[in-house]
Amino acid sequence: MVLDRLKQIASQVTNTVSPPHPLDPLSSLEIETATSLLRQEKGQLYYNAVTLLEPPKAEMLQWLADPDHSPRPARIADIVVITPNGEVMDGHVSLTEHKILSWTHTPNVQPLITMEDLQIVEHVVRKDPKVIEQCAILGIPASDMHKVYCDPWTIGYDERFGNSVRLQQALMYYRPHVDDSQYTYPLDFCPIYDSNKQEIIHIDIPKVRRPLSTAPPHNYTAQSIRDTIGYRTDLKPINITQPEGVSFTVNNRVINWQNWSVHVGFNYREGIVLNNITYFDKAENAVRPIFYRLSLSEMVVPYGNPERPHHRKHAFDLGEYGGGYMTNSLSLGCDCKGSIHYMDANFVNRAGAAQVIKNAICVHEEDAGILFKHTDFRDDSVIVTRARKLVISHIFTAANYEYCVYWIFHQDGTVQLEIKLTGILNTYAMNPGEETKGWGTEVYPGVNAHNHQHLFCLRIDPNIDGPNNTIFQVDAAQGAGEVGSEENFYGNAFYAKKKRFTNPVEAMSDYDGSTSRTWEMSNENKLNPYSKKPVSYKLVSREVPALLPKKGSLVWKRAGFARHAVHVTKYNDQSFYPAGRHVPQTSGEPSMGLPQWIEENPTENIANTDVVLWHTFGITHFPSPEDFPVMPAEPMTLLLRPRNFFVRNPCLDVPPSYARTPAEVAAGKSGCACGKDGKSVLV
Amino acid sequence: MVLDRLKQIASQVTNTVSPPHPLDPLSSLEIETATSLLRQEKGQLYYNAVTLLEPPKAEMLQWLADPDHSPRPARIADIVVITPNGEVMDGHVSLTEHKILSWTHTPNVQPLITMEDLQIVEHVVRKDPKVIEQCAILGIPASDMHKVYCDPWTIGYDERFGNSVRLQQALMYYRPHVDDSQYTYPLDFCPIYDSNKQEIIHIDIPKVRRPLSTAPPHNYTAQSIRDTIGYRTDLKPINITQPEGVSFTVNNRVINWQNWSVHVGFNYREGIVLNNITYFDKAENAVRPIFYRLSLSEMVVPYGNPERPHHRKHAFDLGEYGGGYMTNSLSLGCDCKGSIHYMDANFVNRAGAAQVIKNAICVHEEDAGILFKHTDFRDDSVIVTRARKLVISHIFTAANYEYCVYWIFHQDGTVQLEIKLTGILNTYAMNPGEETKGWGTEVYPGVNAHNHQHLFCLRIDPNIDGPNNTIFQVDAAQGAGEVGSEENFYGNAFYAKKKRFTNPVEAMSDYDGSTSRTWEMSNENKLNPYSKKPVSYKLVSREVPALLPKKGSLVWKRAGFARHAVHVTKYNDQSFYPAGRHVPQTSGEPSMGLPQWIEENPTENIANTDVVLWHTFGITHFPSPEDFPVMPAEPMTLLLRPRNFFVRNPCLDVPPSYARTPAEVAAGKSGCACGKDGKSVLV
């Protein structure tokens, strides 16, 4: 019976008219093909992840170069399960060959916490007698336990429990009414939950108790606004329309727009993955590869309050929960505007069935202001051309916070990553008159919002005119020679000082704002014909705080990727996750991911070879009352800009809004809008 | 006859039904009132500037607090002229009293170079026999002198000529055809022009000569694109419309929008000046002052090539040419989109007549993505609210470059300054095979674009709930206690380390990217009721390169404001220009402006008093071929954000696009779009 269903599914997969792109996420059918096969051969399993095992890069590059004559890379599912007796198994299942390729028990690790893992905790907490007892101490009667809520977090690492038991910590809250914001009523104790036993095994109770706040609710619901300050009525509509449709084409998951081509992948962990990013360069009459793969590969949010157990608040939101799993279903008119193309996301659930997040990814265009302009002061002859951008975005909710992730393509060859932070501050209880000691801010009576950092790790797999690339650190530097010397008489000499990285140890580099430090990804085998400099893309990133937890601290050990702004490693098909494959409850001894890889081969050559650049950036957030009860979006951005890559401005052929030459001015002729039929493409 | 006209004008001014706001720029009528009076009393003068003398702040604050019962500050014109015998006169003319208040000869200074001063140089250059001779050496026959062009620049400072003679340097170019870009054909010599004599007094000739380039033209004109690569045809229109009009109101030059109020001034030098910026805070039911005045007060663009005479390329575009004088007239559909409100700018010409730049300032709204969002992971109850922004912008052309200046107001209380750099690189000639020595980049055969910085000085006159403010430097810092210590056992402690500035010397501070350094403008006399921290606005600026010309260098001496990221001075009614009032040909000995003011009173108290914060920010530009022949806009931004200023998120009352509460989810009720008539205000 199971076998029949499996054969049926397999046949459907095989007979699909258009086979998936080798980098397409697994379809629902493929997910269930894998779980059906495993169910048949391994019996009942609790699924943690069933995702695409991306094909080996060598195979992929061969296929991308000539898809009609190269072998199509196999479809393989990368699988993490927990067995009914709590063992973690990592496996690969070939969907092409319908067989299990590998099946390994991985001891002493905990795979990430799924949404299903999270959802159950609150129900257990409400029924736990010791939790009920603690609530009573704070002034919440047992009859009000339905008003008690918890945000289950990964536990970070707690040395009392190690990593053999699968744990979550329950950050506790209260809602007077179901629609009230719970973050106004944090509770002061912290139950620890065992995911396998599904019970509370311990409660951390502070020495100083903080009874339930008696402050009035602090809400953002429509009703609460109507009942108090009322909605403002002076905002007139702005309509954004594209009567002729969008300027991009979608071929399955490959998007073509304004000379760009990009394959849009998605997985449970990183969320959006951009692959095989190329640009059709008119000057070379060639499609030029730029990035093989771009993704947010990890992040960590360390909190700055040293009092136990707040040190455990340092979630790795991608590796510990999954940016894909937590993704919002987007709705027109809310998250994006204009003509939207949506893509769904398919995941496995705990039981092994496929489930879909509708509209997980939004693809749309936006006007982007002036692309370029110049006026000749002699005669007011002018050209002004407007810019357009393509935005590929998703939004994920990590308990209290939302992360809005925008991958933006520009006509001038720039790729931009913008992240907006919104949602709600993580809060803790404080008594009237209690001091924050500088570790947080009282954002509302009884509400302490702790200092924290959001540190993201951007994984850049450059492919600048081919995979053999070199990374340079570039600083703006003063020239040699003191003021008055012949070589630098007026003291104004300055230049771009470059440091070429040849091994991963010397590539561990920090940010320097005063030198406007950037990093260049260069192909030294190809020089720009004019500048004679290697064709390059430059990482311009200005929100690059140092990791604030100290050297040797728990966070420093666990989040090795965050110790430096940039790490560079030689590419290999295994290294995707800079804090390790299974992140929850790692002790940091040894540090997994990047520090491990680098320690294994510290002198490996990374010059003029296939490399990966890992960039950690983010913000440090000292909360204030205007961030509460819901935080206005805080933006953060970085750019990947072509430098010496093109022989000229690559967007000269975007039709100008208006252009008038000196000869036209002299002859009294009007200028032109140079779109189709001589009309401007912008109204 | 002159007197009759004067009386007539004066009577018109007096009888204007609605008198101007005391900070309104001078009208055409007021400009001509002043010049008529001066013509009568002083005879013929060459006008350099006739602009509003802003009223003393004490008078203004009194009037703003109670305009109906306070004396209206007098209208006074601040005047700079050059007499027919070359003397510089500074004067004040009262338009209220119709009299000259002061009239002073200022020796050894040169007022800025006007557009009229610039325009004439090219004509002189083309006829000069020595220039014709130099052109011939490079291969340009005398019959082709109409194809020779020059961008006249301020001379910086040249010790051979000092500042007694009014000079410009002529950067020389050639156009094969009038519509070809001259920047592809730089010439290697540099004539020096005497503005008073209107003749070339010297030519700087390099030792190594560089004949006229034989490379083909490198153009961006519509015809050149059509003749070569052709315009792309795959860009579909995006229409942005506001069928019900804009959400702001304009009362003369005061704009009200989304609780903000701002007076939009404009002068020949700084361009846009924003005054009396306030926010109506619903929570306090009060209009709260935030900034008394914001403007770009100065800038400098040092070039990094130490070879003579390139050291002279370090234009102070505001103090030496005037960001107002160089402002573009904007056109709908080109520079701004949507429903635009334009403002004109009025200036004096050399002869003393008023002239107008139509549509000098653009005021418009834009959609700004997500304002805030939160989804409850338990039940998908959600709120998502879209943001709007108000943009007040102008664009000025400084010979080759354009600067697009956007003052942006956000609903969450943030003021943003965004600057986009576009236009054309300054270029110099190079021979085939010649080395740039790292001081520039060959962006096209024969075209050397030199390294340079764009450093802007933002003048912030804070008025955070009143004029008595204090500036703090804020760094993200690790807490005390090593890993394993009781106070910081897990090593995760961090906090906002604050340094309170009490005098201008200790306030001279540099940027530190690794600590995410910010500066807070605080009113220590008013604490946030929740956080107990002073109400503040925070300067968040991340593009803050160090000044690269060395200490003691010519640029370092002349551009004292650029030595540090932040200077703070006590407010006075005279200190507006951080490189001095008359900038051209200053030697930097002594350094004018900020260094001078601070040296005069280095221990003056700047804590809890009326202060001005001067912030220097910008970018360092190492050109590359994709910046040529016209540069895709490079953006740069900074934020002024409320911190502990509001008691809560001040934009909770912006109607959400969609909101659905847990109770509504549980009851199966749909949520709401909460605009007028329950509809979303955003389509």
Provide the 3-class DSSP secondary structure of residue B14: helix
User: Is A545 within a domain?
Assistant: yes
Residue numbers in A near B453 (CB within 8 A): 476, 494
Cross-chain Cβ contact A235/B629 below 8 Å: no
Give CA–CA dist A629/B415, Å, rounded.
21
**Would you say B418 and A664 are in contact if contact means Cβ atoms under 8 Å apart?**
no
Residue B679, pLDDT score:
47
Higher pLDDT, A175 or B683: A175
Cross-chain Cβ contact A493/B412 below 8 Å: no
Give CA–CA dist A153/A398, Å, rounded.
9
User: Is A68 within a domain?
Assistant: yes
Q: What is the pLDDT of residues B579-630, one digit of tens each?
A: 999 999 999 999 999 999 999 999 999 999 999 999 999 999 999 999 999 9
Instruction: Give Rg (Cα) of chain A.
Output: 27
Interface test with B, best of A455, A626, A647 (most B CBs within 10 A): A626
When pLDDT is cut at 50, 70 and 90, the band that residue A680 belongs to is: very low
Would an 8 Å CB–CB cutoff place A672 in contact with chain B?
A: yes
Cross-chain Cβ contact B675/A231 below 8 Å: yes
Mean pLDDT calculated for residue range A91-118: 97
Cα A631–Cα B640–Cα A373 angle in degrees, nearest 5 = 110
When pLDDT is cut at 50, 70 and 90, the band that residue B236 belongs to is: very high
Would an 8 Å CB–CB cutoff place B628 in contact with chain A?
A: yes
For A488, the closest of B306, B632, B683 (CB atoms) is B306
Whether the per-residue pLDDT at A8 is higher than 70: the answer is: no
When pLDDT is cut at 50, 70 and 90, the band that residue B335 belongs to is: confident
For A545, the closest of B326, B402, B516 (CB atoms) is B516
Residue A17, pLDDT score:
57
Residue A583, pLDDT score:
98
- Catalytic residue numbers of B read 317, 401
| pLDDT averaged over every residue in chain B | 95
Residue numbers in A near B391 (CB within 8 A): none
Cross-chain Cβ contact B222/A366 below 8 Å: no
Cross-chain Cβ contact A238/B305 below 8 Å: no
User: Is A679 within a domain?
Assistant: no
The reply to whether A265 and A222 lie within a common domain is no
The reply to whether A187 and A267 lie within a common domain is no
Q: Give me the amino acid identity at A577.
A: Y
Whether the per-residue pLDDT at A636 is higher than 60: the answer is: yes
Residue B682, pLDDT score:
40
SS3 sequence of B215-265: CCCCCCCHHHHHHCCCCCCCCCCEEEECCCCCCCEEECCEEEECCEEEEEE
The reply to whether B517 and B579 lie within a common domain is yes
Q: How far is CA A41 from the centre of its chain?
A: 35
The reply to whether A550 and A606 lie within a common domain is yes
Would an 8 Å CB–CB cutoff place B147 in contact with chain A?
A: no
| pLDDT averaged over every residue in chain A | 95
Whether the per-residue pLDDT at B331 is higher than 90: the answer is: no
Closest-CA residue of chain A to B228: A653
Handedness of CA A314, A319, A323, A326 (dihedral sign): negative
Cross-chain Cβ contact B439/A337 below 8 Å: no
The reply to whether A462 and A569 lie within a common domain is yes
Cross-chain Cβ contact A492/B658 below 8 Å: no
Q: Which residue has the tokens 């070589």?
A: A487
Whether the per-residue pLDDT at A334 is higher than 90: the answer is: no
Cross-chain Cβ contact B655/A232 below 8 Å: yes
For A483, the closest of B545, B550, B650 (CB atoms) is B550
Residue B681, pLDDT score:
41
Find all residues with CB under 8 Å of B642, minimum gap 6, and list them.
Answer: A624, A626, B412, B413, B414, B536, B537, B538, B650
Provide the 3-class DSSP secondary structure of residue B63: helix
Residues 430-469 of B with CB under 8 A from A: 438-439, 441-445, 451, 453
Residue B13 maps to which CATH number? 3.10.450.40
Whether the per-residue pLDDT at A648 is higher than 60: the answer is: yes
Residue A674, pLDDT score:
56
Share of chain A above pLDDT 90, in %: 93
The reply to whether omega before A590 is within 30° of 0 (cis) is yes
The reply to whether A215 and A261 lie within a common domain is no
Q: What is the pLDDT of residues A289-312, one digit of tens each?
A: 999 999 999 999 999 999 999 999
Phi, psi of A553 (to 5 degrees): -75, 170
How far away is chain A from the Cα of B215, in angstroms, using its nearest Cα? 12
How far away is chain A from the Cα of B128, in angstroms, using its nearest Cα? 19
Q: What is the pLDDT of residues A222-255, one digit of tens each?
A: 999 999 999 999 999 999 999 999 999 999 999 9
Closest-CA residue of chain A to B545: A514
| Structural domain containing residue B179 | 115-227
Residue numbers in A near B620 (CB within 8 A): 476, 494, 516
Would an 8 Å CB–CB cutoff place A285 in contact with chain B?
A: no
Mean pLDDT calculated for residue range B8-26: 72
Closest-CA residue of chain B to A119: B378
Residues 190-229 of B with CB under 8 A from A: 218, 220-223, 225, 229
Mean pLDDT calculated for residue range A88-106: 97
Provide the 3-class DSSP secondary structure of residue B34: helix
How far away is chain A from the Cα of B12, in angstroms, using its nearest Cα? 34
The reply to whether A27 and A48 lie within a common domain is yes
CA nearest B533: which of A442, A630, A629? A442
Cross-chain Cβ contact A549/B438 below 8 Å: no
The reply to whether A139 and A29 lie within a common domain is no
Final residue in a domain of this structure, among B166, B197, B227 = B227
Cross-chain Cβ contact B662/A179 below 8 Å: yes
Residue B373 maps to which CATH number? 2.70.98.20
Final residue in a domain of this structure, among B104, B125, B152 = B104
The reply to whether B511 and B374 lie within a common domain is yes
Cross-chain Cβ contact B645/A626 below 8 Å: yes
How far away is chain A from the Cα of B78, in angstroms, using its nearest Cα? 26
Residue numbers in B near A659 (CB within 8 A): 221-222
Size of interface A-B (CB pairs under 8 A): 578
When pLDDT is cut at 50, 70 and 90, the band that residue A335 belongs to is: confident
Whether the per-residue pLDDT at A673 is higher than 80: the answer is: no
Residue B677, pLDDT score:
45
The reply to whether A278 and A195 lie within a common domain is no
Cross-chain Cβ contact B478/A514 below 8 Å: no
What is the tally of structural domains in chain B? 3
When pLDDT is cut at 50, 70 and 90, the band that residue B4 belongs to is: low
Residue A357, pLDDT score:
95
**Would you say B261 and B276 are in contact if contact means Cβ atoms under 8 Å apart?**
yes
User: Is B441 within a domain?
Assistant: no
Residue numbers in B near A221 (CB within 8 A): 383, 659, 661
Residue A9, pLDDT score:
52
Mean pLDDT calculated for residue range B624-643: 98
Residues 496-535 of B with CB under 8 A from A: 496, 510-516, 528, 530-533
When pLDDT is cut at 50, 70 and 90, the band that residue A12 belongs to is: low
Closest-CA residue of chain A to B397: A375
Q: For residue B420, how many C-alpha atoms fall within 13 Å in the half-sphere facing its CB?
A: 21
Give CA–CA dist B401/B396, Å, rounded.
8
The reply to whether A493 and A614 lie within a common domain is yes
- DSSP type of residue B8: H
User: Is A270 within a domain?
Assistant: yes
Residue B683, pLDDT score:
35
The reply to whether B413 and B460 lie within a common domain is yes
- Catalytic residue numbers of A read 317, 401
For B630, the closest of A372, A410, A444 (CB atoms) is A372
Cross-chain Cβ contact A491/B553 below 8 Å: yes
Final residue in a domain of this structure, among B56, B72, B104 = B104
Would an 8 Å CB–CB cutoff place B670 in contact with chain A?
A: no
When pLDDT is cut at 50, 70 and 90, the band that residue A677 belongs to is: very low
Mean pLDDT calculated for residue range A176-195: 98
In this structure, are strands B447-450 and B427-429 parallel, antiparallel, or unpaired? antiparallel
**Would you say A633 and B374 are in contact if contact means Cβ atoms under 8 Å apart?**
no
Cross-chain Cβ contact B633/A369 below 8 Å: yes
Cross-chain Cβ contact B383/A218 below 8 Å: no
When pLDDT is cut at 50, 70 and 90, the band that residue B336 belongs to is: confident
DSSP letter string over A487-512? TTTTS--EEEEEEE--STTTT-B---
Q: What is the pLDDT of residues B269-280, one digit of tens each?
A: 999 999 999 999
Residues 478-497 of B with CB under 8 A from A: 478-479, 481-483, 487-496
Residue A682, pLDDT score:
40
For A492, the closest of B302, B489, B511 (CB atoms) is B302
For A422, the closest of B370, B556, B625 (CB atoms) is B370
Residue A681, pLDDT score:
41
Least confident range from A128-142, A582-596, B324-338: namely B324-338
Residue B678, pLDDT score:
45
When pLDDT is cut at 50, 70 and 90, the band that residue B229 belongs to is: very high
Whether the per-residue pLDDT at A523 is higher than 70: the answer is: yes
Residue B670, pLDDT score:
84
Residue B339, pLDDT score:
87
Q: What is the pLDDT of residues A439-488, one digit of tens each?
A: 999 999 999 999 999 999 999 999 999 999 999 999 999 999 999 999 99
Residues 343-382 of A with CB under 8 A from B: 365-367, 369-375, 377-378, 380, 382
User: Is B143 within a domain?
Assistant: yes
When pLDDT is cut at 50, 70 and 90, the band that residue B7 belongs to is: low
Q: What is the pLDDT of residues B381-437, one digit of tens each?
A: 999 999 999 999 999 999 999 999 999 999 999 999 999 999 999 999 999 999 999
Closest-CA residue of chain A to B483: A553
Give CA–CA dist B383/B378, Å, rounded.
14
Q: What is the pLDDT of residues B18-27, one digit of tens each?
A: 899 999 999 9
Cross-chain Cβ contact B625/A633 below 8 Å: no
User: Is B654 within a domain?
Assistant: no
